[in-house]
Amino acid sequence: MKSASCSLTPTWRICVLTDHFDIVVVGGGIHGVGVAQAAACAGYSVLLLEQSALAAGTSSRSSKLIHGGLRYLEGFDVGLVHESLTERAILLKIAPELVRLKPFFIPVYPETSRRPLTLRAGLSLYAILGGLKRESRFRELARSECRALDGLRPDNLQAVFQYYDAQTNDADLTHAVMHSAIEFGAELRCPTEFLSADIGASGCEVSYRQGDTDKSCSSSAVVNAAGPWVNTVSERISPLPARMPVDLVQGTHLVLDEGLDAGCYYMEAPQDQRAIFLLPWGKQSMLGTTENLYSGEPAAVTPLAQEVDYLLEVLQHYFPHRSQQVIDSFAGLRVLPAADSAAFKRTRETQLPVDNPRLPRLLAIVGGKLTGYRATAAKVVHTLRRSLPDRRSRADTATLPLKPVT
């Protein structure tokens, strides 16, 4: 046995390194830790390698929503919306301290392209897909109620619809899932650089660098959950997998000094009809997001001046008297299928390509939503089962409580 000095936070326990693992996961974002938890709960031995820190990339720079994806109905992604609403219900139940239901308001003006009839139809389908539960119901507000909506512009306001979705702290959720994985035996190396993986018919040989020391282990399978670095990791694998045709799409959020009292706002950007959210964030508020193609080093992504201007224009349009003081901003990267269409219109379905469908040793997670991390992880483990030894399941992640890490 070997030992290593890696812990989630300075207060977390030392991990112990063994020579062989059933699964090695590369990437400590929400999908990587989700796979680690699902695999550990299924009885498998798991090692997760993270280059810098848990949730250091996209998983701390999202819109922080646990939602069904109302706007995905416009692209007829009914299956994705149904799965996301199912996962939202599960997370509300197993992680009530991390995931909280919030009211959302959709204002309609004469210039709004999505008319009240269209919104009623979409919200009705959203409610049906959500099982007609309390958290899936919607209503149209009375005119008198609109005066309490945080200064929403009253001029020419035609309607306001209220529905429910959920909000989380994405980084806290990621840490909670990894903590759960560790409780079931998963091991973490962080910060650790993934160096290479040799994939063979009988298993995998993985090399990584921890501090100044190069180490290696064997595994039955490798999961590439590196998010924006998915192709960078693939280039270090032999035989070389096919390069995945993806685009990195930058999304910027602004943190504003003034808070919100009534809830969350789903607004249609007057510039291009995209969905923009104004959300409570502690005593402040958060505004986002943008969608711009990005071609640089993922770690270097940063908000652009034109993105800040774009978002503040949306805020001014709907809330002309609210403060526009920006106290913080951040940018994250989505991984979307490469296409000529606008990023806003592309599918959010997660892709799980494998090296060999009959006996998969290598699987990559391409794309994916924060809300669906648990379902994605379950699919990953199910896909890899034929390459893994028989193990006895120890827990079901759909019922396993998640608590904040203190």
DSSP letters spanning 243-268: PP-EEEEEEEEEEESS--SS-EEEEE
| pLDDT value, residue 59 | 95
Relative to beta strand 275-281, strand 284-288 is antiparallel
pLDDT of the residue at 4 = 40
Cis upstream peptide for 383 (omega within 30°): no
Cα 210 from Cα 192, distance rounded (Å):
5
Task: Give how far Cα 185 sits from Cα of 46, 178, 188, 216, 224, Å.
Answer: 7, 11, 10, 19, 20
Give the max Cα distance, the chain.
70
How many CB atoms within 10 Å of residue 357?
A: 9
- Alpha carbons 105 and 165: distance in angstroms, whole number: 10
Per-residue pLDDT in tens (0 to 9) along the chain, 406 residues: 343 434 454 444 444 445 899 999 999 999 999 999 999 999 999 999 999 999 999 999 999 999 999 988 888 889 999 999 999 999 999 999 999 999 999 999 999 999 999 999 999 999 999 988 877 889 999 999 999 999 999 999 999 999 999 999 999 999 999 999 999 999 999 999 999 999 999 999 999 999 999 999 999 999 999 999 999 999 999 999 988 899 999 999 999 999 999 999 999 999 999 999 999 999 999 999 999 999 999 999 999 999 999 999 999 999 999 999 999 999 999 999 887 666 555 566 899 999 999 999 999 999 999 999 999 999 999 999 999 999 999 999 999 999 999 8
Residue 16, pLDDT score = 41
CA dist 191 and 233 (Å) reads 16
Please tell me the predicted confidence (pLDDT) of residue 165: 96
**Contact by Cβ (8 Å): 29, 8:** no
Contact 29, 36 (CB under 8 A): no
Q: Name the fold adopted by 101-166+246-345.
A: D-Amino Acid Oxidase; Chain A, domain 2 (3.30.9)
**Distance between CA 88 and CA 98 in Å, rounded?**
12
Q: What distance lies between CA 334 and its chain's CA centroid?
A: 9
Provide the β-strand partners of residue 100.
167
Give the per-residue pLDDT at 2: 41
Alpha-carbon distance of 115 to 152, in angstroms, equals: 18
The domains of the chain are located at 2-58+172-244+351-387, 101-166+246-345
Residue 345 pLDDT: 57
CATH architecture of 2-58+172-244+351-387: 3-Layer(bba) Sandwich (3.50)
- Please determine whether the domains at 2-58+172-244+351-387 and 101-166+246-345 fall in the same fold group of CATH: no
